[in-house]
Amino acid sequence: MSSQPEVRPPLPPFTAETAAAKVRAAEDGWNTRDPHRVALAYTVDSAWRNRAEFVNGRDEIVAFLSRKWQKELDYRLIKELWAHDGNRIAVRFAYEWHDDSGNWFRSYGNENWEFDENGLMQRRFACINDAPIREADRKYHWPLGRRPDDHPGLSDLGF
């Protein structure tokens, strides 16, 4: 019994158009807040650095994301392509969330991604800073899930 390799288009080498599509697909996946679904976009041995935490492989990705979304409630994310070259993409992002005490935050960051030939992310390096915000200063008001196509992106919002 042969198993087919997992393929997650678009595939490298990336153009501006395919890199932007890859970024939007990642944003859409993370906005599901489904750790198992998100983990499928990464190689089985994917290596991450997220802030000061090191995560290796899909099982650790699922555990990490499960913890994340238990803490970061009503999470909504916007990602934007920064640069691309070959099988690498650089992204900037901001997401809004609140803790279990109702304190709101906007988390800003940058990610560097590296993909295998099948379009699965094999390496992810993320730097993130959290800024407390007032609930009245929130900018992300779409229903939980995928950001609507007509919702402003990061540059449009001045982030």
Average pLDDT for consecutive 10-residue bins of the chain (159 residues)? 80 98 98 98 97 97 98 98 98 98 98 98 98 98 97 97
- The string of pLDDT tens digits covering residues 135-147 is 999 999 999 999 9
Model confidence, pTM = 0.95
H-type alpha helices, 11-128: 16-32, 35-39, 57-71
Residue numbers of the domain that contains 75: 16-140+151-155
Which CATH number is 104's domain given?
3.10.450.50
- Residue with the two structure tokens 């993130």: 128
Closest alpha carbon to 123 in 68, 50, 35, 67? 50
128 part of a folded domain: yes
Query: Does any domain span residue 83?
Result: yes
Number of domains within the chain: 1
pLDDT, one tens digit per residue, over 1-32 is 556 779 999 999 999 999 999 999 999 999 99
Q: Is residue 1 part of a domain?
A: no
Query: Does residue 7 lie within any of the structural domains?
Result: no
Query: Does residue 116 sit within a domain?
Result: yes
Give the closest residue to 30 by CA, choosing from 20, 18, 42, 43. Answer: 42
